[in-house]
Structure 1
Amino acid sequence: MTHSDILIIGGGIAGMSAAFFLAKAGKSVTVLEREDQPGYHSTGRSAALYSETYGPKIIRKMSTASRSFLITPPDGFTENPILSPRGIIMTAAPGEEAKLDAILTEGRANGANVIALTPDELKARIPVINTDLIIGAAHEPDAMDMDVHALHWGFIRQFKSQGGTLITKADVSSITKTDGKWHVTLGNGQTHSGDIIVNAAGAWVDDIATKAGVKPLGIIPKRRTAVMVDVPADVNAHGWPLVANMDETLYFKEDAGRLLVSPADTTPTEPHDVQPEELDIAITIDRLMTATSIEVRRPGESWAGLRSFFKDGDPVSDFDPADNSFYWLAGQGGYGIQTAPAMGEYAASIICGNGIPDHMQKLGVTKDALSASRSSLTTGK
């Protein structure tokens, strides 16, 4: 049996970002990842974009709190830039004026460069867009594409360089607690012990909680689909920002001369190696053809990934209400890549008893917003 200060279950972006900051704080940390390679299910299937205006309010704050790390990561973190120019345009339909105003106002208050666009200005930037049902848009030119692999493996490499241990093929069989210590037994019979468990198992966090005798919080794994589409020969999509509608039912972006399109679907499912469904692919194409003048005769390759949500749509980063040695780090709902530096730093700071980092407090990040006992988790609000 090996013992660590902290056992982290899950080697995706959530678990590895927390592992990096915990090891940096001097903790002995072991990460247990069930797959052959970390990041297989969600992290590795993300077409991530860094935006300070996209997602729920707490996500936007944590994205802003991640900005400096992503722009200037630690020495030796990665050989390639994590961020590269892209931009994002959020379109608003009639009745979404308040949402559009909130994106513009809050984004600017957080220091983001956000520009209001009229339908005509939007059309000038994205000629294929159908503006008949668009009353305006918010353009964040500084939003960036993210190199997910560079970020994830940067955390892994630096975690290991600080003495951290990453164990793959570590399928958790049972979890017990004896004399204040957690004991995690793997399918191969190995046992690892720790003072604290960090549950960062993505879609499987409730399963891990159940094995540990901890009450599940109600994580809901949801399927998200992406489809590649050819761009018409007379359309030059090079340099387009990502375009998403305000109600998050469609986004598309240019990718190597084609379009990557997603209906931003959130179909509840069981945690498993999820694959795209024919109906979701058809919905994706229909929404793209409604929103633009692009005709799609035959979709290209497609894939799906898991996104995990709590009832209110916000993530959880907190000790369990009934056990202050069991830490929940989950429910990031598709925003886990762009918020990873801040979420990892936040979790490490709370676990180490240091409270909320100063730069996050200045942005208005509160413990209540990420609490495992907030009322919205039980009421569904």
Structure 2
Amino acid sequence: MKTADIIIIGGGIAGIGAAARLSPEASVIILEMEDAAGRHASGRSAAIFIRNYGNATLRALNAASEPTFLEPEGISESSLLSQRGELMVANEAGLDDLNAYLTGSDGLERISAAEAVKLFPLLRQDWVVEAAYEQSAQDIDADRLLQGCLKLARRNGAEFIPKAPVTAMKRANGIWQVETPKGQFTAPIVINAAGAWADQIAGLAGMLPVGLSALRRSAAIVSPPCSDDISSWPLLVSAAEDWYVKPDAGKFMVSPADEDPVEAQDAWPEDMVLAEGIYRAEQAVDLQVTRIEHSWAGLRTFAPDRTPVVGFSPEQDGFFWLAGQGGYGVQTAPALSQLTADLCLHRTSLLSAAVLEALDPGRFLQST
């Protein structure tokens, strides 16, 4: 049996980031079911920081995370961001989606179809009706973020235990007892950062699920049909969110932007879903894909209102939700890690009351 102040269930960027912020003031054990950190969603992300991505709550979390990405003290010696830019394009069918995305945005600029083609020369000008460009969108070095947080947590005394899936848990006399194949672990606080498995963890703790849905997102690497240097080209996104193309190490990452509901699992791509998404991209971009070099899939786990679930459960003392990050987990990780530490250590968060209310796990109990 091992005892700590806090047990974190899940070794993705949510759990590892929280451990990095908690460990200076609390003893922390991280339980991960896989053999290493970041095996699922965290290791399969497109990893780009887009300030305007998501609803109002997520945009506030994006803004709160940016300073850490720029100056990741204790995590890395240099910025975790590099210039990319996001170019959102719409044909006639996507105009309403583009206008909705622009509503309440910060730093997005409407541009002409001709200007869009200058930014992404393979874009078919006859397909584009309207476009918008966010210059401040940047690539995130997600692996450096994850590994830096893990090293920081370990320097502070946190223990990372792989191959330790939770099989049972209960609370007695103010202490959680968590069973795994690696033994029993106890702590007054358990943080549920289990991603697509978070509702299952809640069930083991005797609590109701919050209704998380695991949605598969697929991607493929293809060669560009030109010899141009594409390294400075922006992320190209359909306003209808039915495909995107991202320069990646001299290749293109193409995604159908799929959101197919699946069970919590080690996700894999469906060939037909990839083919249909690539076809949609080819209508707007001069790609002519004949060969896929590599493909994969990951899970984006959403709560019913597509806002993360972060805070202490009103059902059970000492049970903390850190789940439902959807497709925003990497770029909101610094803000949510800090919030987790603030709430668990009884400190005042710098986030607004409106944001805290929007994240509160109790909102699902109130709606039932």
Mark the CA change 1:365 to 1:137 in structure 2 (over 3 Å): closer, same or farther: farther
Matching residue within 271, 276, 285 for 1:278: 271
Is 2:293 the counterpart of 1:300?
Answer: yes
Report the residue type matching 1:321 in the other structure. Answer: P
Report the residue type matching 2:54 in the other structure. Answer: G
Report the residue type matching 2:146 in the other structure. Answer: H
Report the residue type matching 1:274 in the other structure. Answer: A
Contact 1:103-1:138 at 8 Å conserved across structures: no
Is 2:251 the counterpart of 1:258?
Answer: yes
**1:1-381 → structure 2 map (5 Å cutoff):** 1-24=1-24, 26-75=25-74, 77-79=75-77, 81-94=79-92, 100=98, 103-104=101-102, 106-108=104-106, 113-132=107-126, 134-188=128-182, 190-233=183-226, 236-357=229-350, 360-361=351-352, 366-374=355-363
Q: d(CA) in 1 for partners of 2:17 and 2:354?
A: 18
Residues 229-250 of structure 1, C-alpha deviations (whole Å, 9 max, x = no match)? 2211365533111011223221
Q: d(CA) in 2 for partners of 1:177 and 1:375?
A: 22
Contact 1:80-1:150 at 8 Å conserved across structures: no
Stretch of structure 1 that moved more, 347-356 or 262-271: 347-356
Structure 1 portions without partners, runs of 5+: none
Report the residue type matching 2:81 in the other structure. Answer: L
Contact 1:274-1:305 at 8 Å conserved across structures: yes
The RMSD of aligned alpha carbons is 2.1
Contact 2:220-2:293 at 8 Å conserved across structures: yes
Q: d(CA) in 2 for partners of 1:96 and 1:376?
A: 36
Report the residue type matching 1:84 in the other structure. Answer: S
Contact 2:223-2:252 at 8 Å conserved across structures: yes
Q: d(CA) in 2 for partners of 1:132 and 1:123?
A: 10
Residues 10-40 of structure 1, C-alpha deviations (whole Å, 9 max, x = no match)? 010001111111123x122111111110110
Contact 2:57-2:355 at 8 Å conserved across structures: no
Q: d(CA) in 2 for partners of 1:284 and 1:102?
A: 22
Residues 161-219 of structure 1, C-alpha deviations (whole Å, 9 max, x = no match)? 1111111111111101111110001124x110010111000111011111111111111
Report the residue type matching 1:12 in the other structure. Answer: G
Contact 1:227-1:260 at 8 Å conserved across structures: yes
Per-residue deviation, 1:334: 1.6
Per-residue deviation, 1:339: 0.9
Residues 279-331 of structure 1, C-alpha deviations (whole Å, 9 max, x = no match)? 12212211111221221122221111111111121111121131231111111
Report the residue type matching 1:369 in the other structure. Answer: A
Report the residue type matching 1:220 in the other structure. Answer: S
Mark the CA change 1:17 to 1:377 in structure 2 (over 3 Å): closer, same or farther: farther
Contact 1:356-1:366 at 8 Å conserved across structures: no
Mark the CA change 1:182 to 1:161 in structure 2 (over 3 Å): closer, same or farther: same
Contact 1:312-1:377 at 8 Å conserved across structures: no
Q: So what's the TM-score if we normalise by structure 1?
A: 0.90
Q: d(CA) in 2 for partners of 1:377 and 1:250?
A: 36
Report the residue type matching 2:327 in the other structure. Answer: G
Q: d(CA) in 1 for partners of 2:21 and 2:153?
A: 8
SS of aligned partner of 1:208: helix
Report the residue type matching 2:241 in the other structure. Answer: E
Mark the CA change 1:205 to 1:89 in structure 2 (over 3 Å): closer, same or farther: same
Mark the CA change 1:376 to 1:127 in structure 2 (over 3 Å): closer, same or farther: farther
Report the residue type matching 2:359 in the other structure. Answer: L
Per-residue deviation, 1:56: 2.4
Contact 2:71-2:78 at 8 Å conserved across structures: no
Q: d(CA) in 2 for partners of 1:251 and 1:352?
A: 40
Q: So what's the TM-score if we normalise by structure 2?
A: 0.93
Q: d(CA) in 1 for partners of 2:71 and 2:255?
A: 30
Report the residue type matching 1:53 in the other structure. Answer: N
Per-residue deviation, 1:127: 2.4
Aligned pairs, how many? 368
Mark the CA change 1:161 to 1:365 in structure 2 (over 3 Å): closer, same or farther: farther
